[in-house]
Amino acid sequence: MTADTKPVEAGKPAAADAAAPRAWTDGLSRAHLAQLTIAAVFVVAYVALERISFIHEYRGLPVTPWNPGLGVALALMIVGGARYGLALFAGITAAEIVLLQTHLDWPVILGIGAIISSGYALAARMAHQTLRLNVALPHLRDILVLLAVGIGGAALVSLLLGAILLAIGHLQIADFLLASGTLFLGDVIGIAVITPPLLRFWARWRERTVRQLLPPAVELMVLGAMIAAALWAIGGQADSDGFKLFYVLFLPVVVAAVRHGLDGACISLAATQLGLVGLLHLHEYDARIFAEFQILMFVLTATGLIVGVIVTERRASEQAAREAEAQLKEKQAEAAHTARFSLVSSMTSALAHEINQPMTAARALARSVQHILRGPVADLERADRNVTTLIAHIDRVGGIVSHMRDFLRRGRPHFSTILIPQMLGETISLASTDAASHGVRLELDVPSNLPPIHGDRIQLEQVLLNLVRNAIEAIATQRRTDGVVRIVARQHDAPARVEFAVIDNGPGIASELAGRLFEPFTTSKREGLGLGLSICASIVESHGGRIWLQGSIASATEFRFSLPLDYNPSA
C-alpha cells in the first residue's frame, strides 16, 4: 500500500461515499422544487381569486367584499412558513399589473406588495410560533387566535397602505377611513372564510380523514337550496333594500354549523360568500352601502365559525369522555379478572384438597376394579358398582375444574337469566372446602320461589365469593371453632329487587375503615391490595344495583347488595 492510498472501511465502498452528497443534493433539490411548484401554483391561484372577487378600484385600492387570496396565503404561510410571503408578494404584483391595470408607479406597486406580504407573514409567524395555533382548529381558542391575527394583520396593512396612498396624493383625507376600512373588512372576511377550511383540510389530510369533511349528499343539496333561496330573495329586489334580507343567510349557515360543526360552517360560509360576490357583480352600490354590506358579511362569518367550533369542541369532548369511559370499563374488567385470580390463589390449598380427595378415591376404586377383574372369579356386579362410583368422583372433579375455568375466564360480560338458588349453590360449593379448613360453617337461607335476575353470573358469583371469603378470613383471625357465615336472599318491592346479605360472627370492622370500605386500596389485611370490595361495588353498580355495609359489631357483621329485577344492560 502506498502512502497516497486511503484504506476503505469494510462494507462501505468508495462509490457509496461519493453518492451520499449527491443523494443529499438531489433530495434538497426536490424539496426546493416542490416549494417552488407550490409557490407558482399559489401565484396563479391568487390572481384568479382576485379576478373572481374584484369589484372595482377605488383610489388605487381594489374594492372587494372579501379577499380569498389572502385567506389562501395566510393558510399557506401558517402551514409552510413565512417564506411563502415571497409568493404572496409576486401574486400581489402580478394582480396589480395584469388584473387591476393600475396607473401607480413601480415603486408604489412594489411597496404595496412588500407591505401586504410582510404584514401577513408576520401575522402567520405570530399565530404559529407565538400564539401556538393548532392548525386543526379543534378549540374556540384557535378560532379566536386566527381571527385575532387576521384582524391585526389586516388593520396594520390597511393603515400602512392608506398612509402611502395619502402621502403620494392618491387619497384625500376624507377618503382615507372609507378606503382603509373597506380594504380592512375585505381582507378580514377573506381570511375568516378561506383560512379555516384550508387549515382543516390540511389537518384531515395528515390524518387521512378528508372524506369526513363533506356532509352527506342529501344534506348538501338541502343546504345549497336554502342558500340559493336566500340569495334569490336578496337579489330579487331592484334596489339596495333587498340586502335588508341578508339575515336570512344566517339560517343555513347556523344549521350547517350545528349539524356538522366547524367543517359544516366553513363549507356553508364559502358557498354563501361566493353567491354574494356573484350578486355584487350584478349590482352597483355606493361606498356607504358597500361598507355596510361588508360588516354584515363579517358578522355572518364570525357567527358561523364560533357556533361551528363550539359544536366541534363539544363533540370532541363527548368523544373523549366516551373513550375515557370505555378505557375505565376495560381497566375495571382487568382489575376484576385479576381479583378473581387473586381470590382463587388464596383458595389454592382448599381447592387442591377438594380436587385431590375425589381423585384419590377414584384411583382406589380403579385399583379395586382391576383387582376384582384379575381374580379367579370376577365379581362383575361389585366391579360395576365401583366403576359407577369412580365415574361420579371423576365427574365431580370435572365439575370443579369446569366451574373454576368459567370463573377465571376473561372477556365481555355475558348477561343471561340467572336462577338465584343455583348461583348461590355454586358459590357455596366453591367456598365450602376453604370454610371447612378454617372450621367455619356455611349456611344458606334462600326461598325457593325467588324470581330469576338478569346479569353476568360469573361476576355476581365473584361478589358473593369475595364477601364470603372476607367473612371466613375475619373469623379465622379469632381461631374460633363456632364460626358461621350465612348467605341470605330476599325479594323486596318498591322498587322490585332482590337483596342479598352475607352475615358472619367474626370480630367486626374498625370504625375508621367502615366509611371507606368500598374505596380502592382500603384494606385491613396485612397482605391485601384493597381492591376486592371496590371491584364488588363496580360489578354491582354495573348491574344497576348498590352495595353497602349494613352493620358491623363484634359477632355480627353484615354486608348487603341489591339487584333490580327489571335491569336491562342495553338500555
- CATH number, domain at 374? 1.10.287
Q: Are 546 and 567 in contact (CB under 8 A)?
A: no
Averaged pLDDT of the chain: 79
Coil, strand, or helix at residue 418?
A: strand
Residue recorded with cell 349528499: 217
In the predicted model, what is the mean pLDDT of residues 364-370?
A: 84
In the predicted model, what is the mean pLDDT of residues 405-416?
A: 64
Co-location of 70 and 184 in the same domain: yes
In the predicted model, what is the mean pLDDT of residues 321-338?
A: 75
Residue 237 maps to a domain:
yes
Domain range for 537: 416-571
Residue 29 maps to a domain:
no
CA geometry: angle at 388 spanning 383 and 394, to 5°? 120
3-state secondary structure 431-458: HHHHHHHCCEEEEEECCCCCCCEEEEHH
Co-location of 233 and 162 in the same domain: no
Co-location of 182 and 268 in the same domain: no
Phi, psi of 423 (to 5 degrees): -65, -45
CA geometry: angle at 476 spanning 471 and 481, to 5°? 110
For 510, 519, 525, 549, the CA distances from 513, given in Å and listed in that order, are 6, 10, 12, 11
Give the count of domains, the chain.
4
Residue recorded with cell 410582510: 118
Co-location of 159 and 301 in the same domain: no
- CATH number, domain at 80? 1.10.1760.20
- Over 90: is that where the pLDDT of 279 sits? no
Co-location of 502 and 569 in the same domain: yes
Coil, strand, or helix at residue 503?
A: strand
Q: Could you give the CA distance from residue 420 to residue 12 in angstroms, rounded to a whole number?
A: 76
Co-location of 189 and 59 in the same domain: yes
Can the peptide bond before residue 495 be classed as cis, meaning omega within 30 degrees of 0? yes
Co-location of 125 and 255 in the same domain: no
Q: Are 62 and 39 in contact (CB under 8 A)?
A: no
Residue 490's beta-bridge partner residues? 499
Q: Which of 410, 431, 446 is at the close of a domain?
A: 410
For 37, 343, 526, 536, the CA distances from 519, given in Å and listed in that order, are 63, 18, 17, 11
Max intra-chain CA distance, the chain: 136
Q: Could you give the CA distance from residue 426 to residue 47 in angstroms, rounded to a whole number?
A: 81
Co-location of 435 and 402 in the same domain: no
Residue 486's beta-bridge partner residues? 443, 503
Phi, psi of 288 (to 5 degrees): -65, -50
Q: Could you give the CA distance from residue 207 to residue 504 in angstroms, rounded to a whole number?
A: 59
- Over 80: is that where the pLDDT of 422 sits? yes
Which three three-digit cell numbers place residue 127? 399565530
For 469, 521, 523, 550, 561, the CA distances from 515, given in Å and listed in that order, are 21, 13, 12, 11, 16
In the predicted model, what is the mean pLDDT of residues 1-22?
A: 47
- Over 60: is that where the pLDDT of 56 sits? no
Strand ranges, E, within 325-371? none
3 pLDDT band, cuts 50/70/90, is very low
Q: Residue 198, CB half-sphere, CA atoms under 13 Å: how many?
A: 20
Co-location of 142 and 204 in the same domain: yes
Q: Which of 382, 410, 438 is at the close of a domain?
A: 410
In the predicted model, what is the mean pLDDT of residues 118-137?
A: 91
For 158, 206, 557, the CA distances from 137, given in Å and listed in that order, are 26, 14, 57
Co-location of 229 and 319 in the same domain: yes
CA geometry: angle at 104 spanning 100 and 110, to 5°? 90
Q: Residue 567, CB half-sphere, CA atoms under 13 Å: how many?
A: 23
Residue recorded with cell 380569498: 68
- Choice between 364 and 453, residue whose per-residue pLDDT is larger: 453
- Choice between 511 and 73, residue whose per-residue pLDDT is larger: 73
394 pLDDT band, cuts 50/70/90, is confident
Strand ranges, E, within 348-461? 415-418, 440-445, 453-456
Q: Which of 173, 188, 211 is at the close of a domain?
A: 211
Co-location of 188 and 308 in the same domain: no
Closest CA to 413 of 452, 461, 458: 458
- Over 90: is that where the pLDDT of 335 sits? no
For 26, 424, 488, 491, the CA distances from 447, given in Å and listed in that order, are 85, 12, 9, 9
- Over 90: is that where the pLDDT of 442 sits? yes
Q: For 297-312, what is each residue's pLDDT tens digit?
A: 888 888 999 999 999 9
Which three three-digit cell numbers place residue 173? 383625507
Residue 335 maps to a domain:
no
What pTM did the predictor assign?
0.58
Strand ranges, E, within 130-254? none
- CATH number, domain at 444? 3.30.565.10
Co-location of 157 and 266 in the same domain: no
In the predicted model, what is the mean pLDDT of residues 34-45?
A: 90
Position 27 scores a pLDDT of 52
Which distant-in-sequence residues (6+ apart) come within 8 Å of 90 by Cβ?
39, 43, 113
Strand ranges, E, within 329-479? 415-418, 440-445, 453-456
Q: Could you give the CA distance from residue 423 to residue 483 in angstroms, rounded to a whole number?
A: 23
Which three three-digit cell numbers place residue 99? 388584473
- Choice between 165 and 120, residue whose per-residue pLDDT is larger: 120
